[in-house]
């Protein structure tokens, strides 16, 4: 079992930055693909970014490419999402998720989820 706890959300003005953290316990994340999803009110949960454990590849949704960066610190068993140049449309609850298989853009591909952290981008 893997327990995931997100932190780092909050309110920021457009153009600002936030760094989300996802701390894991129960098992090492060394053999898990780690992803960030987000869900805005009235919308479906969507994949934002993923970090593969197999070859270190990272993947980004087109909407965040060039602005967000996913990284992991295996020593701390933590995954991060650095979010720069934030836009109002980035407002959502952000979730981290773990898959013992591979990165996927589908929520069904992940066995473990955190509780989410709210990110609000507005002036």
Q: Which residues contact 80 (CB under 8 A, 6 or more apart)?
A: 19, 20, 21, 22, 70, 71, 72, 73
| Segment 55-59 mean pLDDT | 92
Element of type H or E holding 103: none
pLDDT tens per residue, range 64-97: 999 999 999 989 999 999 999 999 999 999 999 9
Closest CA to 90 of 54, 52, 60: 60
Q: How far is it, in rounded angstroms, from Cα 10 to Cα 73?
A: 22
CA distance 78 to 47: 19
Q: How confident is the model at residue 55 (pLDDT cuts 50, 70, 90)?
A: confident
Note the residue count of the chain: 123
Mean pLDDT over 6-24 rounds to 98
Kindly give the pairing relationship between strand 117-121 and strand 10-12.
parallel
Question: Can you name the residues that pair with 60 across neighbouring β-strands?
Answer: 49
């Amino acid at each position: 079992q893997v327990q995931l706890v997100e932190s780092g959300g909050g309110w920021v003005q457009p153009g600002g930055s936030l760094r989300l953290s996802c701390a894991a316990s129960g098992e090492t994340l060394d053999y898990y693909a780690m992803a960030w999803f987000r869900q805005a009110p009235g919308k479906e949960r969507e994949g934002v970014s993923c970090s593969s454990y197999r070859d270190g590849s990272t993947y980004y949704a087109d909407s965040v490419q060039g602005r967000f960066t996913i990284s992991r610190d295996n020593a701390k068993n933590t995954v991060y999402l650095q979010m720069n140049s934030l836009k109002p449309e980035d407002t959502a609850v952000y979730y981290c998720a773990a898959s013992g298989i591979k990165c996927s853009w589908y929520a069904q591909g992940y066995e473990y989820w955190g509780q989410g952290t709210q990110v609000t981008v507005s002036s």
